[in-house]
Structures are given as C-alpha cells and as structure tokens.
Structure 1
Amino acid sequence: MPSKIGNISFDSLSTAFVILGVISFLIILLDIKKHPQKEMPIMNYVWPINGLWGSIFVLWAYFTIGKHRKMDMSGMKMDMDMDMKMDDMGNMKMDKDCHMDMSDMKMEKEMSNEYSAFWQGVIADTLHCGAGCSLADLVGPWIFLAIPFTLFGQLTYGEWVVDFILALVIGATFQYGAISPMLNKKGKDVWLKALKIDFLSLTAWQIGMYGWMGFATFYLFGRFTPFDMEFWFMMQIAMCCGFITSYPMNWILVKLGIKMGM
C-alpha cells in the first residue's frame, strides 16, 4: 500500500475525500429540508445518500437537474378572442360577449414536471439505483465483520455476497418507494415487481463496484477493513465505477419501458 501520492500521504488524501463526501451529504440534506421533493419523496433520501460518494458531482447533479425540474410549456398554444370597445370616457373595456375559445387551445405536450433532457432523467434513475447500493455497501462491511466467511478461499468474495444481497433488498425497497405512489398500490407484489425492475441495473452497479474493489484489493493495496479511512475512499471510487456501468443499463431499461423514467 503506498504511503504517499506525490507529497500527500494516502491516508490524508483518503480522509479529505471522505470528509468532502460528508460535507456534500450535509449540504444536500439541509437544502432538501427546506425544499423537499413532494412529487417523488424517495428522492429526498436518494440525493444525500449519493452525496456521500459522489460529493461535487452529485452536488452539481442535485442543484442543476435534481432540485429544479423544468416545467415544459413549449408546446402550449392558447388562442383567445376578445372584443374590445371604448366606453363613453374613452377608456378601453371588454365587451360582455368577450370569450376565450377553449376548443382552440392546443397542447402538443402536457405541462409536466419532467427533466429537460432524457439523459438527465437517466442520471436520476441511476442515482436512485445507486442509493440502494450505497446503503448496502455502507452497512454491509460492518455486518460482515460480525459474521465473516470465505468464498473460494477469499474473505473479499464472502463480503461481496453480503453486499450484493443487501443491495438487492435495499435497492428494491427504494424502487418500491418510487413505483408504489405511481401504481397507487402497496404490498409484497409491488415490492417483488420493484425487484424485477431494478435487478439488472442494481447488478450492473455492483459489477462496476466489484471491478474497482477487486483491482484495489488484489493488485494495488491489499485488503482494507471498515476501520481504515482508505477503505471508504476506495469505496467512493468504486461507487463512481458502479455509476458508470449502471448508467447504460438504466438508459436501455428506460428506453425499453421496463423502468419508468424519473
């Protein structure tokens, strides 16, 4: 394990990035307290959780495409016919027969609370998926400390199994929180539907995360524990890799109509 990167100690660098993630988490959380997202309440949890690993990137995403969703009125056309007359004082007044012809109102697009571009909605979808994976990888290592086991002779593989199961359970629960209000239904069947919807995107995220953690563990640094600040720094990078591998999957799933776009 390197002790320094340039003139900066690896431990100091790790600590700085972890603190930056915590600060980002707090900034988003405090803003959401003032401006909660009522149309999709689950996003009130998704944004700050992702701030823990994404820091500046997630701050940008939240304040540019997450907090302010564009109200699209570009296709709205209103035709109003009004008869104007002058009164005895020379002032303009509307005739009693003045009317608005609602039949001439044309709506090429519904006035909707949507992201202004498809890619922005997919970012939100991917971060929604990432929140479940992030929580799983936040608590999973501590659970594994209590019940460690090896797989193929490696503790790391055993820990990944715990993390993957947690990611599916927590991620599906986050997806449940998103689709339950849309379907106006609750219960086990809706949760299982959420699991089916999110399985591929959650798996894609975990593949990216495992790819980096495997590289860091087996080729760069060796095995860390949750007590090491370097572990959480590596996990932040792993989450970025998870986002990269999950984004194309979410794009495809939304395009195919398997997932509902945010």
Structure 2
Amino acid sequence: MVPVWLYWLAWSALLLAGAGTVVVLYDIFGRGYRQRMRVMEAVWPVTALYLGPIAVWAYRRYGRTNSPKWLAHNRTQDPRDKPRWAVIAVGVGHCGAGCTLGDILAEFAVFALGVEWLGRALWPEFVGDYLAALALGILFQYLAIAPMRGLRVREGLVRAAKADVLSLTAFEVGLFGWMALMSFVFFPNPHLRPDSVTYWFLMQIGMVIGFATAWPANVWLIRHGIKEAM
C-alpha cells in the first residue's frame, strides 16, 4: 500500500508541475514570447513536467529572453548572456525533453499492452523507454541544429545522433537506476503502475536524477563542439 502522505505529496508535486507547464505554454503562445529556436517551445514546457517551478524560473530567465518579442521590447538584438552552468542546463533540458516524452509514451504503451518479461513490466519499459527517447531525442536535436546550420536531412540526422545519443543514454541510465529501485526496493509487491499518481511522482524524481547523470556528458559534448550550445 502507498502511504497516505506519499499519495498526497504525489498529487501536490504533479499539480505543481502541471501548473508550471501551463504557465510556460501560456507565456509562449498566449503572450507571444515565441522562441527563435522553435523546438524550445516544446522543450521548456516538457522540462516543467519534472522540474516544476525551477523550470519556470529558468524559462523566464533564459528562455523568454531568446524571444523576438522580448528582444524588440528591450531594444536589443542579442539575448541575455547565459553563464556556463546555464548553457549546460539548457543543453541537458533539451535532451531531457525528448527522453521525458519518450518515457511517458513508452510507459503508457507497455502498460496498455500488458507486456511483461520474467514476470515484470520493468524490462519491456527499459527497452521501450530507451527506443522512444532515442527517436525523440534525435528528432529534437535535429530540429535544433539542422535549421541553424542549413543541413540536409541525412547529414542533420547524423549530426543530431552524434550530439544526443551519449547525452540521452546518460539521462536514461540515471532514470533506469531509479526505476529499478522503485520496482525492487520501494514497491516490490505490489508494483506501482503508470495508472498511479505515486508512480509518476517517483518518475519525476527519476527524471531529476537523469538530469544530473546527463550533466557531465553535456559538459563534454558542448566543450568539444559536438553539441550546439543553446
């Protein structure tokens, strides 16, 4: 059984994250702070799904300032300079958005299909999560670098893969380790499932851990010019 306090904490965290996502979406599309790099219009709201108020603060500080509306209002052509940690954080968030969407889609797909291996859904979830994260992560990276560099589709996809595979793998390593703890340690019997709010609250924590494990990979990728600084 899930403790009552954890159940209500899960609801609070999910509602707070949902509110943060709505705030960012409204600011971008309702108030017109569209992003110069269009893929970031998906990255910022998705990041709020697990980082909540932190993502909202980061968006207002380093996302909105990339908007043509903000630049025109402040009579400048240059976005606000980001410190190095913020450059890395945005890069990790870009990778994490693809991973997060992929994980959500795969988790619900595995649950809906009732797929298990060795008596657990965890192993099919690992496979589905990684493949979906790989597809969406590369797509997000392609949408970031191909228009910027004027690349053709094949060349853009190759560069996107080089820039994102290491990063998203590092993100998933952190998340998968946490999922294993969820399955084998915290809730071994009965297992939490994706139709539980507690499950998604714990997945939020896993995504924060994935954000942390992806950080060193992004430092290396950006330092060596393999991944674009955003």
Q: TM-score range by the shorter chain?
A: 0.7 to 0.9
**Does 1:3 find its partner at 2:3?**
yes
Supply the RMSD in Å over aligned alpha carbons.
1.9
Check whether the contact 1:148–1:158 (CA below 8 A) recurs between aligned residues: no
Aligned residue among 180, 184, 206 for 2:172: 206
SS in 2 for 1:67: helix
C-alpha separation between the residues in 2 aligned to 1:209 and 1:131?
13
Residue 66 of structure 1 deviates from its aligned partner by: 2.0
- Percent of pairs with identical residues: 33
Check whether the contact 2:47–2:97 (CA below 8 A) recurs between aligned residues: yes
Gaps of 5+ in 2: 67-76
TM-score (norm 2): 0.88
Please name the residue that 1:94 is paired with.
Answer: none
Which amino acid is the alignment partner of residue 22 of structure 1? G
> Which structure carries more helix by proportion?
2
C-alpha separation between the residues in 2 aligned to 1:3 and 1:138?
24
Q: Which has the larger radius of gyration?
A: 1
> Which structure carries more strand by proportion?
1
**Does 1:178 find its partner at 2:178?**
no
C-alpha separation between the residues in 1 aligned to 2:80 and 2:158?
26
1:161-206 alpha-carbon deviations (Å, 9 max, x no partner): 1000000000100001100111212423312321221000000000
Which is worse superposed, 52-61 or 32-41? 32-41
Please name the residue that 1:17 is paired with.
Answer: 13
TM-score (norm 1): 0.78
**Does 1:189 find its partner at 2:186?**
no
Q: Which residues in structure 2 correspond to 1:110-121 (within 5 Å)?
A: 112-113=78-79, 115-121=81-87
Q: Which residues in structure 2 correspond to 1:1-262 (within 5 Å)?
A: 1-4=1-4, 9-33=5-29, 34-68=31-65, 112-113=78-79, 115-151=81-117, 154-222=120-188, 223-262=191-230
Please name the residue that 2:74 is paired with.
Answer: none
SS in 2 for 1:224: coil
Which is worse superposed, 185-194 or 215-224? 185-194
Gaps of 5+ in 1: 70-110
Which amino acid is the alignment partner of residue 12 of structure 2? A
